[in-house]
């Protein structure tokens, strides 16, 4: 019995604490600061256009937005928000906050942000320090992904027979403008707007190509077959083939 009473008391305490926390949360004013355009160092230094957004209890009717406890604007309708530019204020550290007013006249104070407003020149310099290394790494990865297959595949050619069916992969197929043979474009080919600089595995030459339709690729395969048949018809017989033909024909001669 005592255990049941203890469990009941514990559950009641948990329930009351939960209700108290929810009631406290409903009366809080939460301020969020987000960047719309400009620079933010991640360490408290900002420059450009930013938005202040406030959420609070359901009976919140009005929000006044403050910088250094000075009113810079207000919003009378949810969602409560206000945009400001750091260039409208002096450089240095500022405190950003908001005050809300409920239907019954209660006054609620939000959390605060302390941010250092910096000049546009300083913001650009700091942004370039962050962006330039990222651009350099990205460009290096793209360049390596293009050069390594080129160096590794130098002089190598495909041995796919004329007219043989083939898979063109996820990147798609194209037709070499040099040898007119279809091939699957390589993912490491250099993209240049609507075309791609790629190497034909059949003739080994580089060309600007673009993705061809399945019908065009099948037509190119059929054209390969026609060229293969024409080539075989024009090829003179070898000495072994000539000797074999003469032996076959000699069986019908009277000796």
What percentage of the chain carries pLDDT values higher than 90? 38
Q: Are 176 and 205 in contact (CB under 8 A)?
A: yes
Structural domain includes residue 15: no
Under DSSP, is residue 252 helix (H, G, I), strand (E, B) or coil? coil
Structural domain includes residue 205: yes
Element (H or E) spanning 250, and its range?
Answer: helix 239-250
Structural domain includes residue 216: yes
Same structural domain for residues 168 and 112?
no
Cα distances (angstroms) measured from residue 71 to each of 39, 46, 67, 181: 24, 20, 7, 72
Structural domain includes residue 169: yes
pLDDT tens for residues 208-236?
999 999 999 989 888 888 887 777 666 56
Same structural domain for residues 40 and 108?
yes
The CATH number of whichever domain residue 91 belongs to comes to 2.60.40.10
Same structural domain for residues 162 and 98?
no
Same structural domain for residues 104 and 186?
no
* DSSP β-bridge partners for residue 207: 198
Structural domain includes residue 6: no
pLDDT tens for residues 157-196?
566 777 677 788 788 899 999 888 999 888 777 777 788 8
pLDDT tens for residues 4-21?
555 554 555 554 444 443
Which candidate, 185, 181, 152, 155, places its Cα nearest to that of 171? 185
Structural domain includes residue 18: no
Same structural domain for residues 36 and 110?
yes
How many domains are contained in the chain? 2
> What's the token pair of residue 180?
């007119």
Structural domain includes residue 241: no
Among 74, 100, 122, the domain-final residue is 122
Number of residues written out for the chain: 255
Q: Are 133 and 96 in contact (CB under 8 A)?
A: no
Q: Are 29 and 108 in contact (CB under 8 A)?
A: yes
The reported pTM is: 0.45
Among 122, 146, 170, the domain-final residue is 122
pLDDT tens for residues 240-253?
766 666 666 555 44
Q: Please tell me the distance from the alpha carbon of residue 24 to that of residue 16, in angstroms, as a whole number.
A: 12
Which carries the bigger pLDDT value, residue 225 or residue 23?
225
Structural domain includes residue 57: yes
Q: Are 161 and 137 in contact (CB under 8 A)?
A: no
Burial of 234 (0-12, 13-18, 19+ CB in 10 A): exposed
pLDDT tens for residues 34-57?
999 988 888 899 999 999 999 999
Same structural domain for residues 181 and 110?
no
Domain hosting residue 202, numbered range: 157-229
Q: Are 145 and 137 in contact (CB under 8 A)?
A: no
Same structural domain for residues 102 and 38?
yes
Same structural domain for residues 97 and 162?
no
> What's the token pair of residue 124?
């650009």
Place of tokens 């019954």: 104
């Amino acid at each position: 019995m005592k255990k049941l009473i203890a469990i009941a008391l514990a559950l009641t305490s948990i329930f009351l604490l939960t209700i108290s926390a929810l009631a406290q949360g409903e009366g809080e004013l939460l301020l969020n600061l987000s960047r719309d355009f400009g620079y933010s160092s991640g360490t408290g230094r900002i420059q450009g256009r930013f938005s202040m957004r406030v959420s609070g209890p359901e009976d919140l009717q009005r929000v006044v937005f403050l910088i250094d406890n000075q009113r810079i604007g207000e919003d009378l309708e949810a969602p409560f928000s206000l945009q400001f530019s750091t260039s409208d204020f002096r450089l240095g550290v500022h405190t950003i906050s908001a005050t809300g007013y409920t239907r019954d006249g209660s006054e609620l104070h939000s959390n605060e942000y302390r941010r250092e407003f910096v000049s546009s020149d300083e913001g650009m310099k700091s942004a370039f320090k962050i962006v330039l290394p990222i651009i350099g790494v990205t460009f290096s990865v793209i360049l390596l992904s293009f050069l390594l297959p080129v160096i590794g595949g130098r002089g190598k050619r495909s041995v796919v027979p004329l007219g043989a069916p083939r898979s063109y992969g996820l990147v798609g197929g194209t037709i070499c403008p040099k040898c007119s043979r279809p091939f699957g474009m390589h993912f490491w080919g250099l993209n240049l707007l609507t075309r791609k600089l790629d190497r034909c595995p059949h003739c080994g030459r580089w060309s600007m190509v673009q993705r061809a339709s399945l019908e065009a690729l099948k037509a190119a395969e059929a054209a390969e077959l026609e060229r293969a048949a024409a080539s075989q018809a024009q090829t003179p017989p070898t000495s072994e083939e000539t000797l074999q033909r003469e032996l076959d024909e000699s069986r019908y001669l009277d000796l």
